[in-house]
Amino acid sequence: MSLPYVLAAVACLLVVIGLMELVAKRLKLPPSVLLAMVGILIGSGASLLLFSSVPSALDPVAAVFVFPPLNSEVFLYVFLPALLFQASLSLDVRRLLEDAAPIFLLAVVAVIVATFAIGYALTPVSGQPLVVCLLLGAIVATTDPVAVIAIFRDLGAPARLTRLVEGESLFNDAAAIALFVLLLEALTNDTPITIGSAAETLAASAAGGILVGLVGGWCALVLFRLVRDIPAALMTISLALPYLVYVVCELALDASGVSAVVTAALVVASGGPTRVPPDAWRHVSEIWDQIAFWASSLIFVLASLLVPKLLGGVDFGDLASLVVLILAAFLARAVVLFLLAPLLTFLRLSERVPNPIKAVVLWGGLRGAATLALALAVTESTVIDQDAKRFIAVLATGFTLYTILVHGLTLRPLMRILKLDQLSPFDRALREEVLALALGNVRDAVAQAADDYDIAPAVARAAGRPYEARIASAKTAGEKAEDILDRDRVTLGLVALADQERSILLEHVNERTVSTGIVSMLVVDAERMREFSRSNGRVGYRRAARRALDYSLAFRMALRVHRFTGYDRWLIRELSDRFERLLVSRIVLGELLPYVRNRLAPLLGERVGDIVEEILSLRREAVAKALDALRLQYPDYANDLERRFLLRIATQQEEREYRALYHDHLIGAELYSDLERGIEHTRTTLDRGTRLDLGMRTRDLVAQFPLFANLTAEQIDRVVRLLRPRFAVPGERLIRKGERGDSVYFISSGAVEVITGERRVRLGRGDFIGELALLYGVRRNADVNALGYCQILVLEGEAFKALIKRYPEIGKEVERVAEARNQSNRDGGHPEVGSIEPITDRRPVAGFEDEDEEDRLARRLTALMHWRSPGRAKD
């Protein structure tokens, strides 16, 4: 077949596709349904033209439509990876995980149930072997969401409904294709198949695909960092990714290529926006949307061209089998939705799925190009019996046409009947408030424009009069609408606040004022706050905010490694990251305050605005306290971080100035390029920064300790060999009351709090603790917690006794302080070491040592980590 004719045919199809979008919009039909109809008409018309007795100059083009130069591999290897990748790339991974259980039920369990229900229902009616009918069941178990999603978006369907259908379609193809391959091998090789072997094969195929997808997605994110400022390079890497993982799985590993593509796309979707500038990510997303539009439209038209050929020789028996197929598929899907789905709610694996949503999911299970592609793959086999091939091709094609023409055209009326095209009472009431607020701003803008352009006041009033009427109408409708509870308004405000925080963080990435690695962690925190707020309101937001201030698992592990091995590079890196995270958080939270006052408060009400602002202020205060704790210990590093942040802002402003001069034709391209190179050099220098000095060199700590001030250098070296440095974090419990004493702690820097009965005593630099238990052979009589970041020297029991024996002056000083403390304890005071404060309601934090049950229940972030809201008890 001549290439020019093929290109001409494809070009004609693209023109038709472009025009059908307009027609579908006018007729309010799903574009994919219209394209399927047009494809069938084109295929039928081309057949009449080609096989007519009158020769025509268009016969070569008609031949392309009748015998298109494609097969099932073109559908599965060219179109399918692109469609799957784009659909997964646009999903919200965290929201998808909320419905992981029902999506798994629809995508995997429903495929298996439908396959066996169809197979056993068709076998006695059709006269075909069971394995052939099971193969047909696997083929028609695939769903195509394109038409359904278009209807959902047009009608404003509930977000959960869209999420369920999209999630099902992504993983449904993986299960159906894996089952199809298994059954096809059983049919062609005449080998038996059992449920156990089928389940094992499906699980292994899916697991292999997921693993490849994770590795491929992670590698793509690593490459994204290298080319983050080159949109064309980003797009090229993202385009190669789905095809690479798909081909590797299908040809090299015998794993699920569909699972690999979906997993890789989800990894990229979750990490990509925080690793590349928003403009570059938008560029990638828009190109993928265009690719998906071309691919989905072409695949519908090309698959529809094959319908006349696949439906050749249909008889009454085929129609009877088609009716059985339709009933079996419908009933199998209904059983899964209405009998198995409630079990997920009963087992607390998922929130309840309302019946109207179940009904739409049941009716919206349209079939499309994937079903036709698998049927085409069967017809291309040289091993399968011709009668079986015709049976599968006719029924698969007939079932696809039925779902497109019947379900696709009646889905919109069904949604209207079930009232799924309407806003919830909450959204209806909120809509009127949004209208009143937005239209008021528009009215003010019209008046301001009239002043700016010297337009007569009468004309300005006439132009603003329609807006006055609409504002009045919105206020009237808002008064009639159901009231929105303050609790719901606060939840909405906190969700919006978390979304705005995420946007600000991504904007900082775009401006290159903060590092992408730090923003990635903060974006995860913001998304967690959004999801916790959505499910638990202000309580959930506070819980997520406290979690964001907690020490990460990596930090805790690094601290333990440093404590037991002395290796400090990991701890330094984690501490540096925490430093920068807190600094960026403080800056971003400051930027959120005007958003609350100027945007949320006018929309949700002043009372709700005050509540949200109070929650935000408390969170900002907690972040500031945590940052101050680090600043007190490492002031030079804190100043360097802030200096680099300001220099990054200055560099960004400098780049804007150069760009403006270039666009205004005031400097040439050569000079502009030279200035840009200077900007990049400055950014590279700023990204290096300075290394945090943990300050844990034992000799330096000993030398600055007052107790050892009179020792010679040689004596200090001996003492250093006895001491072990320890880094403590705020809230860490150093000593537990009632335990046996085996060490003395010398505080080189920082502060600790000693809790003895009803008294609290604060000790700081130059003090030591724990000597009483060793000198008098008693158990610890107090709890000791770190108030801030502390550098402590630990002296084990035997080494302590050797030290005071070798150096009598030190021993006398220790004994003097111990005796004074012991006497003070008997007298009810502690004048030697600091002031005594009455005990408060704060509880010590057991951050790193083993906790008993009481400690676990009482665990709170105290001095510098956790914060408490005045209204928490009510929540």
Q: What is the pLDDT of residues 369-388, one digit of tens each?
A: 788 888 888 888 878 888 88
Q: Predicted confidence band at 405 (pLDDT cuts at 50, 70, 90)?
A: confident
| Whether the predicted pLDDT of 248 surpasses 90 | yes
| Whether the predicted pLDDT of 25 surpasses 50 | yes
Which residue in 165, 126, 23 sits closest to 398, CA to CA?
A: 126
CA atoms within 13 A on the CB side of 565: 11
Residue with tokens 């979690």: 547
> Is residue 608 within 8 Å of 493, Cβ to Cβ?
yes
Residue 482 class from Cβ within 10 Å (0-12 exposed, 13-18 middle, 19+ buried)? exposed
Q: What pLDDT is recorded for position 226?
A: 86
Give me the percent of the chain exceeding a pLDDT of 90: 12
Residue with tokens 């990638």: 284
Q: Predicted confidence band at 480 (pLDDT cuts at 50, 70, 90)?
A: low
Q: What pLDDT is recorded for position 420?
A: 79
Cα 447 to Cα 441: distance, rounded to the nearest angstrom: 10
| DSSP code string of 382-417 | SSS-HHHHHHHHHHHHHHHHHIIIIIHHHHHHHHHH
Q: What pLDDT is recorded for position 833?
A: 38
Q: Model confidence over 112-170: pLDDT tens digits? A: 899 989 999 999 988 888 889 999 999 998 887 766 776 776 666 677 777 888 888 87
Cα 169 to Cα 144: distance, rounded to the nearest angstrom: 6
* Dihedral angle of Cα 862, 867, 872, 875, to the nearest 10 degrees: -110
Q: What is the dihedral sign for C-alpha 91, 96, 97, 102?
A: negative
Cα 867 to Cα 622: distance, rounded to the nearest angstrom: 6
Burial profile 621-654: b = 16 or more Cβ within 10 angstroms, e = fewer? ebbbbbbebbbebbeebbeebeebbebbeebbee
* 3-class state of residue 792 by DSSP: strand
Amino acid found at 823: Q
Query: Which residues are bridge partners to 753 per DSSP?
Result: 762, 785
What 831-835 contacts at long range (C-beta under 8 Å, 24+ apart), as own/partner pairs, is 833/754, 833/761, 833/763, 833/767, 834/761, 834/762, 834/763, 834/764, 835/761, 835/762
Residue with tokens 């494609």: 70
CB atoms within 10 A of CB 712: 8
Q: What pLDDT is recorded for position 844?
A: 36
What 465-474 contacts at long range (C-beta under 8 Å, 24+ apart), as own/partner pairs, is 467/439, 467/442, 467/443, 468/443, 470/435, 470/439, 471/435, 471/436, 471/439, 471/440, 471/443, 474/432, 474/433, 474/435, 474/436, 474/439
| Whether the predicted pLDDT of 835 surpasses 50 | no
Q: What pLDDT is recorded for position 221?
A: 92
Amino acid found at 762: R
> Is residue 364 within 8 Å of 165, Cβ to Cβ?
yes
Q: Predicted confidence band at 329 (pLDDT cuts at 50, 70, 90)?
A: very high
H, E, C per residue of 668-737: CHHHHHHHHHHHHHHHHHHHHCCCCCCCCCHHHHHHCCHHHCCCCHHHHHHHHHHCEEEEECCCCEEECC
Q: What pLDDT is recorded for position 856?
A: 36
Cα 529 to Cα 669: distance, rounded to the nearest angstrom: 46
Mean predicted lDDT score pLDDT of the chain:
80
The more confidently predicted of residues 863 and 812 is: 812
Q: Model confidence over 702-715: pLDDT tens digits? A: 776 777 777 777 87
Which residue in 397, 399, 381, 379 sits closest to 389, CA to CA?
A: 379
| Pair of tokens at residue 416 | 């209207």
Q: What pLDDT is recorded for position 719?
A: 79
H, E, C per residue of 455-507: CCHHHHHHHHHHHHHHHHHHHHHHHHCCCCCHHHHHHHHHHHHHHHHHHHHHH
* 3-class state of residue 92 by DSSP: coil
Query: Which residues are bridge partners to 759 per DSSP?
Result: 756, 838
* 3-class state of residue 841 by DSSP: coil
| Whether the predicted pLDDT of 211 surpasses 90 | yes
| Pair of tokens at residue 169 | 């379609």
> Is residue 160 within 8 Å of 81, Cβ to Cβ?
no
pTM of the complete model beyond 0.75: no
| Whether the predicted pLDDT of 448 surpasses 80 | yes
> Is residue 328 within 8 Å of 122, Cβ to Cβ?
yes
Q: Predicted confidence band at 479 (pLDDT cuts at 50, 70, 90)?
A: low
